[in-house]
């Protein structure tokens, strides 16, 4: 097991998005988050790289990623008024894909801001 140190890592737990965190990590978990506050530390230490959940679920049953992608695409394509919602806990790169998805579907697009 190797210990890696990431300097100036970015915490996305709150809107401060602190970018001065020093992370110490082994292969599966972050063991230390220097400079992070209590909330940030909990955020970093509570996520691991373990395989805790199945890759995908279809109707509650385990499925492969490829199957799930196909089923999702079919549901969204068949809908008359599909909704793309959320985008809080994700990257701008994924958000960009979400906009393109809603556009392609002729659907609705909305984020947490509207709540």
Q: Given the rule CB under 6 A, which residues bind ligand SF4?
A: 11, 13-14, 16-18, 36-37, 39-40
112 forms part of the interface with other proteins (CB under 8 A): yes
Alpha-carbon distance of 98 to 89, in angstroms, equals 13
Give the nearest residue (CB) to ligand SF4: 40
Q: How far is the CB of 53 from other proteins (least distance, A)?
A: 5
Alpha-carbon distance of 53 to 56, in angstroms, equals 8
3 forms part of the interface with other proteins (CB under 8 A): no
Alpha-carbon distance of 103 to 47, in angstroms, equals 33
Kindly list the distances between the CA atom of residue 110 and the CA atoms of 28, 50, 65, 73, 80, in Å, as whole numbers in the listed order: 34, 31, 25, 19, 17
Alpha-carbon distance of 112 to 64, in angstroms, equals 29
Select 1 or 17, whichever has its Cβ closest to ligand SF4: 17
Residues 40-99 that bind other proteins (CB under 8 A): 40, 43-44, 47-51, 53-59, 65, 68-73, 75-99
Q: How far is the CB of 32 from ligand SF4 (least distance, A)?
A: 13
């Amino acid at each position: 097991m190797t210990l890696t140190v990431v300097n100036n890592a970015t915490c996305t737990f709150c809107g401060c998005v602190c970018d001065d965190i020093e992370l110490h990590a082994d292969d599966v978990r972050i063991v230390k988050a220097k400079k992070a506050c209590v909330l940030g530390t909990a955020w970093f230490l509570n996520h691991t790289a373990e395989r805790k959940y199945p890759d995908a679920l279809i109707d509650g049953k385990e499925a492969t990623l490829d199957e799930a992608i196909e089923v999702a695409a079919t549901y969204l394509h068949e809908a008359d008024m599909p909704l793309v919602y959320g985008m809080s806990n994700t990257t701008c790169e994924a958000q960009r894909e979400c906009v393109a998805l809603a556009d392609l579907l002729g659907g609705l697009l909305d984020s947490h801001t509207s709540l």
